[in-house]
């Protein structure tokens, strides 16, 4: 079975975070793991970035960018520069973080 934690829980609400960095400390449980961040760009488009440890290639589609992530044994610190990823993947500028799902 698959379990997610989504913030905010209400799909009509947003986080409204303007700082373009996401930092997480994740323990490698030797299981499949993914996280997804939804951002708003300067074209007023909602874009999603999904990183997972079961994917081997990066794919950029109009509304979602999926990418592989390697986790070391034990604890891992993930630093995600959302502004840089938004610019590289879509050629647009990051405005804010709307949702996070782990």
The tokens of 47 are what?
């874009």
- 23 Cα distance to chain centroid: 11
Residue 93 lies in a domain: yes
Total domains present in the chain = 1
Residue 1 lies in a domain: no
Residue 30 lies in a domain: yes
Residue 64 lies in a domain: yes
Asked whether the CA dihedral 6, 76, 70, 45 is positive or negative, the reply is positive
Q: What is the pLDDT along the chain (102 residues), one digit of tens a residue?
A: 688 999 999 999 999 999 999 999 999 999 999 999 999 999 999 999 999 999 999 999 999 999 999 999 999 999 999 999 999 999 999 999 999 999
Residue 60 lies in a domain: yes
């Amino acid at each position: 079975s698959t379990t997610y934690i989504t913030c905010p829980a209400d799909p009509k609400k947003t986080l409204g975070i303007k700082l373009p960095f996401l930092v997480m400390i994740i323990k490698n449980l030797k299981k499949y793991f993914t996280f997804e961040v939804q951002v708003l760009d300067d074209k007023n488009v909602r874009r999603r970035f999904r990183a997972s440890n079961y994917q081997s290639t990066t794919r950029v589609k109009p509304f979602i960018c999926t990418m592989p992530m390697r986790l070391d044994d034990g604890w891992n610190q993930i630093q995600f520069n959302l502004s840089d990823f938004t610019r590289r993947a879509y050629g647009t500028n990051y405005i804010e973080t709307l949702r996070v799902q782990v």
